[in-house]
Amino acid sequence: MLAAAVWVTEAQARVNDLPGGPAVNQLNFHPPATRIAEEQHWLHWFMLAICAAIFVVVFGIMFYSIAKHRKSVGHKAQELPEPIWVELGWTIVPLLIVIGMALPATKVIVAQKDTSNSDLTIKVVGMQWKWGYEYLKGEGEGIQFLSTLDSQHRVMSDSGKVAPTDDYLLKVDNPLVVPVGKKVRIITTANDVIHAWMVPAFGVKQDAIPGFVRDTWFRAEKIGDFYGQCAELCGKEHAYMPIHVKVVSQEEYSKWVAEQKKAMAAKADDPNKEWTLAELKARGEQVYAANCAACHQANGKGAGPIKPLDGSAIVTDADHAKMLTVLLNGAGNGAMPAWKQLSDV
């Protein structure tokens, strides 16, 4: 009865399809949300059909011949003439098939690479282990933020007790917001190692390489939420850098930009401000909760190889330069990430 009860409650609390993300028992690609993704689907099935047809014909003839003309029923090996038309035939027909597949594929690849005339340009920076977004051009220019995995999801993953969650490990604090129907150029690069920015519903996957700049683009045709993940093995928390793109209407986008600008203006620190200790503490608590607590724990005690900050000789040292050096450059071969992106305050 206990087992049955567990089974029933588990059946009730099931994971459902995530629109714009993975589906339960998904076999095909994500439903496309851009023209490019649609073309990719078409190419995929087109080529699969050609390959399947060739497979059936070739193996059909082969197995038929093996079975029907086997030695044990009296067939003898035969010397065959090699007429030129056979040689030509089996050279030209495959060539035509290959060309027939390469032409439509090339058309799509060229379209995929055409990042000209974009309405919006966004720089995407891969970091161990989060994404940085910076709106470089178009409406929203100047907006800049980091996008990290929702801390609740990390707690679930760390504890191994995962409640059925449709967007498990795909939820972020700050999604990338873009307007529907606009051409968005994405410029990728990285801070530390190679990452890749991938959103399957858009048919987009682009490596983000330190010291290099690559680009790709998409024009979302549907309003909604779309999900992806880092697609280049980038270290132990590779699975914890999801991508969430929110496609909204033009009006909603303009509203979001206005709000974002206001929030940024409010957050911008007055360089002449004299900070009181209480203000600095409050500010530090926010920064700690958002960036450090995932590893060093909310109580600062750390865990395993993650050194405690509470009582640490480096933290309590009168010479703060030591602590700042760790903070700016990281430590333990990157186990403690570098935090150059934090503001001076």
- Torsion over CA of 89, 93, 95 and 99, rounded to 10 degrees? 160
Q: Answer whether 122's CB lies under 8 Å from 133's CB.
A: yes
Q: How many CB atoms lie within 10 A of CB 207?
A: 18
The one of ligand HEC, Cu ion, none whose footprint includes residue 176, by CB under 5 to 8 A per kind, is none
Q: Which of 253, 250, 120 is nearest to 175 (CA)?
A: 253
Q: Answer whether 223's CB lies under 8 Å from 248's CB.
A: yes
Answer for which of 122, 170, 220, 294 binds ligand HEC (CB under 6 A) is 294
Per DSSP, the three-state class of 176 is strand
Do β-strands 120-127 and 214-218 pair in parallel, antiparallel, or remain unpaired? Answer: unpaired
Query: Is residue 296 part of the contact set for ligand HEC (CB under 6 A)?
Result: yes
Is the CB of 254 or the CB of 312 nearer to ligand HEC? 312
Answer for which of 335, 338, 341, 345 binds ligand HEC (CB under 6 A) is 335
**Piece of the chain touching Cu ion by CB under 5 A; list 62-70, 210-218, 232-240, 333-341:** 232-240
Quote the CA–CA distance of 173 and 151 in Å, as a whole number: 8
Q: Is 93 exposed, middle or buried (0-12, 13-18, 19+ CB in 10 A)?
A: exposed
Which amino acid is it at 253?
Y
Is the CB of 234 or the CB of 243 nearer to Cu ion? 234
Q: Which of 131, 121, 122 is nearest to 192 (CA)?
A: 131
The one of Cu ion, ligand HEC, none whose footprint includes residue 187, by CB under 5 to 8 A per kind, is none
Residues 273-292 that bind ligand HEC (CB under 6 A): 291-292
The one of ligand HEC, Cu ion, none whose footprint includes residue 338, by CB under 5 to 8 A per kind, is none
Q: Answer whether 181's CB lies under 8 Å from 119's CB.
A: no
Is the CB of 199 or the CB of 292 nearer to ligand HEC? 292
Answer for which of 66, 273, 305, 343 binds ligand HEC (CB under 6 A) is 305
Quote the CA–CA distance of 34 and 3 in Å, as a whole number: 46
Is the CB of 197 or the CB of 253 nearer to Cu ion? 197
Is the CB of 198 or the CB of 230 nearer to Cu ion? 230
Which amino acid is it at 252?
E
Answer for which of 195, 246, 296, 307 binds Cu ion (CB under 5 A) is 195
Per DSSP, the three-state class of 91 is helix
Do β-strands 130-137 and 120-127 pair in parallel, antiparallel, or remain unpaired? Answer: antiparallel
**Piece of the chain touching ligand HEC by CB under 6 A; list 31-39, 98-106, 149-157, 306-314:** 306-314
The one of ligand HEC, Cu ion, none whose footprint includes residue 314, by CB under 5 to 8 A per kind, is ligand HEC
Shortest Å, Cβ 93 to ligand HEC: 57
Answer for which of 15, 194, 306, 338 binds ligand HEC (CB under 6 A) is 306
CA pseudo-torsion sign 335, 340, 341, 345: positive
Quote the CA–CA distance of 157 and 168 in Å, as a whole number: 9
The secondary structure element, H or E, covering residue 245 is strand 242-248
The one of Cu ion, ligand HEC, none whose footprint includes residue 291, by CB under 5 to 8 A per kind, is ligand HEC
Query: Is residue 314 part of the contact set for ligand HEC (CB under 6 A)?
Result: yes
The one of ligand HEC, Cu ion, none whose footprint includes residue 174, by CB under 5 to 8 A per kind, is none
Query: Is residue 198 part of the contact set for Cu ion (CB under 5 A)?
Result: no
Answer for which of 23, 146, 323, 338 binds ligand HEC (CB under 6 A) is 323
Shortest Å, Cβ 199 to ligand HEC: 25
Binding site for Cu ion (CB under 5 A): 195, 230, 234, 241
Binding site for ligand HEC (CB under 6 A): 291-292, 294-296, 305-307, 309, 312, 314-315, 323, 326-327, 331-332, 335-337, 339
